């Protein structure tokens, strides 16, 4: 087995939220039905890797200790209420990669948008500047590499987000490892309105 070059990225870091067990089961069922209905050949993402990415921190040769410490400090400063997320459509996302992701997606709602914005600002405060999309769309990738699927409504899948996680991805190995999790405060009231 060849030894990777010292400057070659081996790991990536990102913040994510994970569906609960009931939502994982429903997402897996929906992925199976889609593969059958559309005769898709790509293998679905394994249940333990189903997630919504919040912020991608980058790819690195190893896990840099300074970035890890800063990410942990930023996450620890986020105190937000738990909130619901609903995914109610499937579609293929357009990307520059050759393999297009087929996702199950939804609208974030005020509380989810406020949470993502708060985490973004906390990361900036510790010197981590992430690429912010003009409009955050929560989505879970089901599989990669199939022909484009036009957006179509599905029966909504909803769960309550009670924590978020910092995740290490081993590049080229399809492995994710949760580094740390931070709970959301179920007793704090959700913001009534989200403003840009």
Give me the mean pLDDT over the 68-95 stretch: 93
Q: Is pLDDT above 60 for 36?
A: yes
Tens-place pLDDT, residues 103-158: 999 999 999 999 999 999 999 999 998 776 678 899 999 998 767 888 999 999 99
**pLDDT above 80 for 18:** yes
What's the confidence (pLDDT) of residue 158? 97
Q: Which CATH class is domain 11-183?
A: alpha beta
What is the Cα gyration radius of the chain? 17
Query: Is residue 195 scored above 60 in pLDDT?
Result: no
Compute the mean pLDDT over every residue in the chain, rounded to the nearest whole number: 86
DSSP 10-29: -EEEEEEE---HHHHHHHHH
């Amino acid at each position: 087995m060849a030894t990777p070059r010292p400057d070659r990225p081996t790991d990536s870091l990102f913040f994510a939220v994970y569906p609960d067990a009931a939502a994982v089961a429903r997402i897996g069922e929906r992925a199976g039905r889609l593969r059958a209905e559309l005769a898709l050949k790509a293998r679905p993402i394994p249940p333990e890797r189903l997630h919504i990415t919040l912020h991608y921190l980058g790819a690195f040769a190893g896990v840099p200790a300074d970035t890890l410490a800063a990410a942990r400090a930023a996450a620890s400063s986020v105190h937000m209420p738990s909130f619901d997320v609903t995914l109610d459509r499937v579609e293929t996302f357009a990307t520059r990669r050759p393999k297009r992701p087929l996702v199950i997606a939804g609208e974030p709602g005020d509380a989810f948008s406020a949470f993502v914005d708060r985490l973004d600002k906390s990361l900036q405060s510790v010197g981590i500047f992430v690429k912010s999309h003009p409009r955050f769309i929560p989505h879970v990738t089901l599989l990669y590499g199939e022909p484009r699927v036009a957006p179509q409504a599905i029966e909504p899948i909803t769960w309550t987000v009670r924590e978020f996680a910092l995740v290490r991805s081993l590049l080229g190995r399809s492995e994710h490892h949760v580094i740390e999790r931070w709970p959301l405060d179920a007793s704090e009231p959700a913001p009534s309105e989200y403003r840009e």
